[in-house]
Amino acid sequence: MTILDLTSHPVAAKYAVLVDVGYLYAAAGEVLLGAKERKEYRVAADELIQALQKHAETRIHGELLRIYWYDAARDRVPTVDQRVIAQLPWVKVRLGNLNARGQQKGVDAQIRSDLEALARHHAVSDTILLAGDEDMVPAVEAAQAYGVRIHLWGVEPPYGTNQAERLVWESDTVEIISADFLRSYFSRAPVPV
């Protein structure tokens, strides 16, 4: 009888990074600039995505499947910035709708759907979820039932918390991204004259 030595060939993780852009931008805009609306600041998104990718590489040793970038646009027509992001390697832009009041619609549903599909098809062993909404909890539980580890990332809040308590509880690991990490990617928008 042969005994397999699994220690000599450790299984590398395959992971995805799912970013709720609405949460990331709103939380970072608030903590860094005291901003309440996206039009108050500019984001160097391509550089921010590269920084998040590098940070993920230090946390999960394995192969990146891709970064899913969930945002919204009026009538799902991508902005110039979203078109630039969509052309980045290993990045998949997913757009929900932005209604007349500037509220995102359909973004959470896309995140939940992708998280569950990646888990169900065993496409990943780990998922980094940068989000804060309690609506993610059922998808996190479903992904975990398929054996996927969920690493929840949040943005440092100015006070208290900016993530749902149940989402924090259900995740396998939790990490807060510091304001200092995000600072160089956010700047105040020029005031129109």
- Taken in order of first residue, the domains within the chain and their CATH numbers are 13-172 (3.40.50.1010)
How far apart are alpha carbons 69 and 20 in whole angstroms? 7
Lowest mean per-residue pLDDT among 50-54, 63-67, 92-96, 105-109:
105-109
66-97-23 Cα angle (round to 5) = 60
How far apart are alpha carbons 57 and 160 in whole angstroms? 28
The pLDDT, as a whole number, for residue 5 is 47
Average pLDDT over residues 44-67: 96
Confidence label for 191 from pLDDT (cuts 50, 70 and 90):
confident
Q: Please give the order of strands across the beta sheet that includes 91-98.
A: 104-105, 91-98, 62-73, 13-20, 126-130, 149-155, 173-177
The pLDDT, as a whole number, for residue 190 is 85
The pLDDT, as a whole number, for residue 4 is 46
pLDDT at 10 over 80: no
How far apart are alpha carbons 131 and 154 in whole angstroms? 6
Tell me: the pLDDT tens digits for 116-139? Answer: 999 999 999 999 999 999 999 999
The pLDDT, as a whole number, for residue 9 is 47
The pLDDT, as a whole number, for residue 32 is 96
| pTM across the whole model | 0.91
